[in-house]
Chains A and B, each alone.
Chain A
């Protein structure tokens, strides 16, 4: 009997201790954002941004936005761009947020078709070259990043071999077993690379991929596998000096005033990320203010350091390393969002067949 009492006391004590650690008991874990939202028509309150997991902006900028506009910003970032697009499409009638950022040109048509976005009333107009051919009134471009083939220039220097320059070069036996790329079915840069080959070779792209595979191309799951797992300039035991990465990547391999890698600017596909106000948002004014803020010079200039992407507004400044070591492609490959949306499944099926052979 005594034991029972001792144990009961012990259990009670540990329960109290645990309650202290719990999220529910801690107090600061929970927020009551939904309740503090104000009714439409009246400025202020909370504005909720749905975005993908790569979203990030400096705390200082967010504070400044909240002070100037009177809104409280709540960011809900989870999943990749495809997940975000699916979420927004599925919840088009009862949106999970007020605004969304991070839908790119490869995924834009799906949520647009589902009616997830409301018309924008922006006072700011980004350059026309980034605008969507259809749905430009609902989604505004925020940033761009091009997916390009990157080469480890120091590896090629050491080998005394001239690095490749074009997509066609990659099937040259001189570069056999040197390329690693993330898969198109599992990674967004992988998909962009597939689109670049579709844009270059048209309906013959599966032949190009057969040649690429015959030349020893290696396909891995994600960008991080390719870059940190196989690329000679970044991986410990890397064996592949050619990798599919971004145009900005060379700015991150700077040693002693020069970069050891280069992006091949003739192999690029440009991804543009868009933002918009969600249809049926609880706080549409706040959402519009948020979208305008994303286009402000302060945020645009912070994009490279925070999210590794280039700003779209001409007034933004970019870091010195980027200006010096990460030139952007002038004439990237293009495939229209409608075409991507219509043919994505067929391309991916064919692509999987080609690489599984």
Chain B
């Protein structure tokens, strides 16, 4: 009991932050729907759930997200192996480049996809424009990087010796993969898959753009019900449905993630040379790369096209306010705002994410304690699975009174972005932290090390690299975040995705080209930051 109390005390800080920034707003917005004429009337909300349209929308969301998650895992796991365990030339750059789709504004990627798949596009003959297949392709495009990165980082710190032992005992490479490697990677794979599923299930722009308005997901339906139809009751019903499904999913994921014998290596395993048996994985990785490059290439070509020829005019225009003064600030200024916001969001997400990861991965001494830890773990994943629309309006109506008058705070945008990045940080760190043998800490403690010293000498060397990866991830997520940011951004300091959205929403020959050029700048900025983060290797780490 004392241990659980201590645990809850430790968790109080992060829980409070999430309580104020997430639970309170969502509860506030949902209760708008439950209260009719000043009275609590849940019956009417439940009636909404019986509508056939709601069933259709919910089923569509579940199946598209499910298929997209399966495809992303199927493509991402082999690519994670190739890019994190094999000595492939240029893998650092490729790994960084793969995160690019993750930050691109959906509205721009949507147009790029449609230029490829649309009636006049090079892939138009496939007839995919406006079909669920196009939606699934778009979802995979945005999310495969999550799988590659989360699984790859875990794979790097996986102890290769059990696999080598199995091979020495006569197991074929396939048997080693099936009986040793994949079971050890299960926490990371399940963690990545649940994040991808949540991202897909709450995807907004991609469903509308690529589905040609014919298909509604729960998220697009909540947006329509809230902003256009103002049927808050139905919106609340869908939000509640969303939360129930997400909680159920997280419970299943937590069960699947649990592994009896986690092993993590204190040092990063050196990459090995490519063998003949790696060719299928290598080929699949190339395929993934090609599929990712195609829409990006369309974007780059579009940004370089000027009138009937080619040129850099669109890029030169980025320091101006656009055709017909479409913008209040030049794109260059917006980029600076974006980077500064991302710095704030990253440290916030890391601060909370690291403490959450440490708390949930510490060894439990009783079943009750384990339950508390896994509930906490799931709790911090929730923001990914709940409608940004509900959260955004909830901010306005609940955080409007002192002492919580946050709706005008300049830190509101980074805070919202940190909420989105938080699960990425937690899911990257927990598989690694959970793999540390607790006996090492006990040994350190029995030799007289303080709690801090134990953390520094046992935990830090192992999580150092994943922490860098997680911060890069959080940074990228913040750079690309649009939903919450566009809702909260103040006009005097818009971020780059907000500016891109403005550019593409205004007529004027130059504005479209500028939007594409600005997207390329955003992509390059992300890639540069990612490469820099990957290079940040402190010599001696892991060699204590």
Contact = CB atoms under 8 A, between A and B. Distances in A.
Contacts of A348: 224, 228-229
B111 interface: yes
Contact of A185 (B114, B213, B486): B213
Interface string B289-328: 0000000000000100100000000000000000011111
A64 B70 CA distance: 58
A18 B205 CA distance: 32
Interface residues of B, number: 77
Interface in A207-234: 218-225, 227-230, 234
A33 B120 contact: no
Interface in B195-237: 205, 208-209, 212-214, 216, 220, 224, 226-231
Contacts of B227: 79-80, 82-83, 85-86
Given A22-B343, A34-B408, A78-B487, A86 B538 contact: no
Contact of B487 (A74, A83, A185): A83
A226 to B, nearest CB: 10
Interface in A67-111: 74-80, 82-83, 85-87, 89-91, 94, 96, 110
Interface string B326-350: 1110000000000111011001000
Interface in A225-254: 225, 227-230, 234-240, 245-246, 248-249, 252
B410 A23 contact: yes
A55 interface: yes
Contacts of A55: 491
Interface stretch (B270-278, B280-288, B501-509): B501-509
Given A18-B343, A21-B339, A225 B229 contact: no
Among A54, A236, A238, A308: residue with most chain B CB under 10 A: A236
Interface stretch (B9-17, B73-81, B185-193, B392-400): B392-400
Contacts of B423: none
A173 B255 CA distance: 58
A206 interface: no
A225 B502 CA distance: 13
B411 interface: yes
B493 interface: yes
B32 A252 contact: no
A237 B121 contact: yes
Given A21-B340, A29-B410, A345-B229, A228 B491 contact: no
A223 B212 contact: no
B407 A96 contact: yes
Q: How extensive is the interface on chain A, given as a class?
A: 35 or more
Contact of A306 (B110, B325, B393, B400): B325
A16 interface: no
A235 B111 CA distance: 10
A53 B340 contact: no
Contact of A76 (B456, B490, B505): B490
B486 A58 contact: no
A4 B114 CA distance: 52
A7 interface: yes
Contacts of A3: 540-541, 544
A349 to B, nearest CB: 8
A22 B491 CA distance: 19
Nearest to A110: B230
Interface string B421-459: 000000000000000000000000000000000001100
B120 A239 contact: yes
B64 interface: no
B107 interface: yes
Interface in B105-124: 107, 110-111, 114-115, 118-121, 124
A85 B227 CA distance: 7
A22 B213 contact: no
B141 interface: no
Contacts of A355: 213-214
Interface string B79-122: 00000000000000000000000000001001100110011110
B505 A224 contact: yes
A30 B405 CA distance: 15
Given A83-B227, A230-B118, A221 B212 contact: yes
Contacts of A6: 538, 540
Contacts of A79: 227, 486-487
B111 A78 contact: no
A165 interface: no
A229 to B, nearest CB: 5
B512 interface: yes
B486 A53 contact: yes
Contact of B213 (A85, A221, A249): A221
A29 to B, nearest CB: 5
B544 A53 contact: no
A356 B32 CA distance: 31
A101 to B, nearest CB: 12
B326 A185 contact: no
Contacts of B504: 224, 228
Given A56-B326, A91-B396, A345-B231, A183 B114 contact: no
25 contacts: A23-B410, A24-B344, A24-B411, A29-B493, A33-B408, A34-B408, A53-B505, A54-B505, A56-B325, A78-B487, A83-B487, A85-B230, A86-B230, A90-B32, A90-B396, A96-B396, A186-B208, A220-B114, A220-B209, A221-B208, A221-B213, A246-B507, A308-B324, A308-B507, A345-B229
Given A186-B208, A252-B509, 16 more contacts: A10-B538, A22-B343, A23-B344, A26-B340, A29-B340, A53-B498, A75-B492, A94-B400, A218-B130, A219-B213, A229-B111, A229-B115, A236-B115, A344-B228, A355-B213, A355-B214
